[in-house]
């Protein structure tokens, strides 16, 4: 029975997002067999030390443990036994006056006075009335608790408590006895509410453990803002392999482009003088490696996206003619030399370390002004400009005129934006204005979209 309870507990933790391997589950079972279950503190420590590896998972363990391994009956006061016979008679008369024919509430209030906790059957009936059988997610717990408390009449009893005490005061009960009675009643009511809460949580946790595990999403598809530190570390390890795949695609396109792709329409048109005999083969224009200018918003909300973009691009430098890189928050900074002097991941880490997040005010307009003043010569008719950012400018001047001038000078200007068009123009967003001065806006909310965007730039060249 205990082994089954432990297995359900482990499955509930997994459903809540705690990573637990089969080997760690076995270690927990072996550990409990060794220390036993008589000492609850040792039992709990054994499970926690074998199942929890990450600090962020400890609160989840602490939340779910009592739902599986504690009883449902909180200590309650037998109020009747602590009253004199005269006080008991006064209390019964007051109850008869207030309650009338409300038998259900009378039974619940009688349980409160006698210090009787809710029975398993009562909890099951209340749960069924509240629809608890349909719940299987822990976020539903508070709602089902409120419903079960309503079904039990706890809200009505709370409202009637003042009337009961007032009635007893009129019948001559002393203020000291009234205060003591009120304290015991409220303590018992809290005990019943705690019992309902425990039952609700345990029921939901058991249903969570019964659900088949849902497949975890591919980290490439998880939005940047939802990635945990562990997810980020995993992606940092994977990004070289991702870059290698992009490099292979780009290299294949370059090989096909050495002579250009065969163009049947041009060939037929050119050979009409030979009566349609294809004597001269014609090919489409060959592909050239792009020259890039990157301008990246390094504010707190964009840092991970910038990190992965810079890493990808500098892993693919053999597929690029030249790359000039800039970062900005309140003003522009040239990081081209920093990124060229070291291995891509080391260089990007250095840039992030030397430009830490803080209480900065994002000002893209001012950053564009600095670029126009000091670096506009980096853009010519062979340059593809990529601006990575959400277009949020803290209500500063967006300098759309500079963005327009950059587009005119460049071969292409693209925006990589993590926000959908529905968010453009909301609040301090100027993205709807910048989009009109771009040759395209590519959505980059996760690493897969970011990699596809980079690949499309290489292909477009």
Residue 402, pLDDT score: 96
Whether pLDDT at 239 is above 90: no
What is the rounded distance in angstroms from the CA atom of residue 344 to the CA atom of residue 310?
Answer: 8
Residue 452 token pair: 């596809």
pLDDT class of 305 with cuts at 50, 70, 90: very high
> pLDDT tens, 202-227?
888 888 888 776 666 788 888 988 88
How large is the average pLDDT for residues 233-258?
A: 78
> pLDDT tens, 35-85?
888 888 888 898 898 898 888 888 888 998 888 887 656 666 666 666 677
Q: What is the mean pLDDT of the chain?
A: 84
Q: Please give the order of strands across the beta sheet that includes 383-388.
A: 332-334, 322-328, 291-297, 383-388, 412-417, 440-443
Highest mean pLDDT among 141-150, 275-284, 362-371, 450-459: 362-371
Q: Phi-psi region for residue 332, left (φ > 0), alpha (ψ -120 to 50) or beta?
A: beta
Q: Which residues are 441's β-sheet partners? A: 415
What is the rounded distance in angstroms from the CA atom of residue 312 to the CA atom of residue 103?
Answer: 72
Pair type for strands 332-334 and 322-328: antiparallel
What is the rounded distance in angstroms from the CA atom of residue 312 to the CA atom of residue 340?
Answer: 13
What is the rounded distance in angstroms from the CA atom of residue 434 to the CA atom of residue 273?
Answer: 50
In 3D space, the residue among 372, 448, 357 whose CA is nearest the CA of residue 406 turns out to be: 372
Residue 101, pLDDT score: 47
- pTM exceeds 0.75: no
């Amino acid at each position: 029975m205990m082994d089954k309870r432990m297995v359900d507990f482990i499955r509930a933790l997994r459903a809540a997002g705690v990573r637990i391997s089969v080997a760690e589950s076995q270690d927990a079972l072996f550990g409990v067999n060794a220390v036993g279950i008589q000492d609850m503190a040792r039992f709990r420590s054994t499970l926690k030390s074998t199942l929890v590896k990450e600090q962020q998972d400890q609160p989840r363990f602490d939340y779910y443990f009592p739902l599986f391994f504690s009883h449902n009956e909180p200590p309650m006061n037998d109020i009747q036994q602590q009253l004199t016979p005269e006080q008991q008679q006064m209390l019964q008369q007051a109850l008869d006056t207030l309650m009338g024919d409300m038998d259900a509430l009378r039974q619940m209030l009688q349980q409160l006075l006698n210090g009787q906790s809710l029975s398993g059957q009562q909890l099951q009936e209340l749960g069924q009335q509240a629809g608890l059988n349909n719940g299987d997610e822990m976020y539903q717990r508070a709602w089902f608790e409120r419903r079960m408390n309503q079904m039990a009449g706890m809200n009505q009893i709370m409202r009637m408590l003042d009337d009961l005490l007032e009635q007893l005061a009129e019948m001559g009960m002393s203020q000291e006895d009234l205060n003591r009675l009120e304290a015991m009643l409220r303590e018992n009511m809290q005990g019943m509410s705690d019992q309902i809460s425990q039952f609700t949580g345990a029921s939901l946790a058991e249903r969570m453990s019964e659900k088949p595990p849902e497949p975890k999403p591919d980290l490439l598809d998880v939005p940047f803002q939802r990635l945990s530190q562990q997810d980020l570390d995993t992606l940092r390890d994977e990004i070289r392999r991702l870059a290698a795949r992009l490099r292979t695609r780009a290299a294949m396109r370059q090989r096909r482009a050495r002579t250009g792709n065969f163009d049947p329409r041009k060939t037929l048109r050119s050979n009409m003088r030979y009566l349609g005999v294809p004597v001269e083969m014609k090919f489409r224009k060959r592909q050239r490696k792009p020259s890039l200018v990157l301008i990246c918003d390094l504010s707190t909300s964009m840092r991970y996206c910038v990190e992965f973009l810079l890493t990808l691009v500098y892993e693919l430098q053999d597929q690029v003619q030249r790359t000039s890189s800039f970062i900005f928050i309140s003003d522009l900074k040239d990081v081209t030399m920093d990124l060229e002097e070291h291995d891509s991941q080391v260089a990007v880490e250095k840039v992030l370390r030397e430009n830490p997040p803080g209480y900065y005010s994002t000002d893209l307009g001012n950053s564009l002004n600095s670029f126009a003043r000091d670096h506009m010569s980096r853009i010519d008719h062979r340059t593809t400009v990529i601006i990575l950012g959400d277009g949020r400018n803290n209500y500063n001047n967006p300098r759309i005129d500079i963005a327009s001038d950059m587009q005119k000078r460049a071969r292409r200007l693209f925006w990589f934006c993590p926000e959908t068009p529905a968010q453009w123009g909301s609040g301090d967003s100027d993205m709807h204005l910048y989009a009109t001065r771009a040759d395209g806006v590519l959505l980059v909310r996760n690493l897969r979209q970011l990699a596809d965007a980079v690949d499309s730039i290489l292909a477009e060249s």
